[in-house]
Structure 1
């Protein structure tokens, strides 16, 4: 489409926004176009998700879109101290994981309309994973089913005391999570008030999500999944509203070793200079720190609780932060709520706490705000 064509298409959209009941002939008359030309522009707008259907229903922003990994997690723990080179009696616990998937489940349990765009295989593991999320109320209609790969798996082998001996990750499926695969699925971005993306995506796909979120005016939150994958983020972080990273990820992205509070501030400031509006650093038992849009640096101590399992705690923090931001919370308030939600995950062996209740969450947030 030519530049003039794109301009006319935007004019058509503007008239429809002002009067959703306007006829094609009225549009043609006002824009000095033929009726077939108007019909072609409307057809293009429908395909792009700018309008929904022939009745010119405009998409309503409000839901949250999560983009990234969804996989099956397995923990294999030995009954006796592990002996290498022989069979070890053990038991297996299987659950669903993946940063984007975990965040989406948390948000759904918090009562927010949530969509997940991920890539899984054509296997029974994926069928069960998607059925589970759909049963909770997460929209999985835009999930990509790969014919070339199995669903991603993460397998941790634990010694009798629960310490990790080795972990094995089969995540090759995400190498095919390309712009070509992703682009047709992002019509849902039209309705998203907030987009959360993890760094399981390849570099080009991450840059595409950042650009598209900026273009559509959605609030973009980035959650790195590991130090190596955090380096997939582009040098220019413009378009990212908030980056939420742990110490190692923050150091990997900024290039600044994290050893004390001054270095955390320096790393956050460096990322803001690269275009990120707010940076939040999660530090486990040392709490959380942030540098917000107004360049105000703040810290918050961790809650004093008896930790059962840290799996999924970081994802719960991201979900809690986004839940609070969706209610117009300030950065400090969002971190306070996120810390509270993280506590629920830390006291359970589940990756996502089933004790999350929307009405209780709203009550917590009301007290904070």
Structure 2
């Protein structure tokens, strides 16, 4: 019995070590990539809830206000458990936190309002496809974060894809010039709101180690207050909703909150440009959901753009995971040889 017990204990310990080794060398290096990919799923789903809510007559700013309220509530629920530091350490952090709040909310409003003028798949094609290049440039200027040759190749493919999507939108659109202009300019404006937001959040969360909850708490609370005022100023809110509409709003809040948390968790370990590039996988998911939920079938031109974006995103995601795994294996080797002492 003693021998069997010892053997069982040895097998269990070996299995645990193997499992820990697998997690450390394969899963941990890809944590930032996985969080960014999780964002894509949640963001694509949130866009559909936004479009469905808009279709039944709920004003766009009101929907974004409700989403910000849900995100604020989620942050409040997590605060007692994680107890993050809610004050900044110096004036620079305070300034960055203020800028993060402004850019995050401006980007959110412009992004979700674009879903009112154009189907989510195409809006994401413009936003997510142009975001990596803008983020990489801003990240290099302010954080000195560089991207490698392989990452640049993926970003170029993304840009080519978004050009195809935007061109397809222009030549196939039969609506008014004003609506067409809005459907292109709103997503592009959202890009230039989202890109600085990612870089600033990367600086706060990834470099200065400010809590994710702290950044999101201030951004969402401020956004909810401002959007409530904008809703009554520019729109006529509709508070009486059907059960189906309430379900869409709840889905929007949950998915929007999850996508926001996933992005900021990714920024803890990944450069802003890399996170932005991986997030472009939102586009094919949104296009697929456009077809399933909104019966919007993309044209061959738009489909070609989506394929380029998917390929570019795949290149960056796989290369990033491989690079981190290589660094982890090298670190483990140095530790096993006691070279780290």
Q: TM-score range by the shorter chain?
A: under 0.3
Which of the pair is proportionally richer in strand?
1
Report which of the two has the higher share of helix.
2
Q: Of the two structures, which has the highest relative contact order with CA contacts closer than 8 Å and spacing of 6 or more? A: 2
- TM-score, length of structure 1 as denominator length: 0.24
Normalising by structure 2, report the TM-score. 0.26
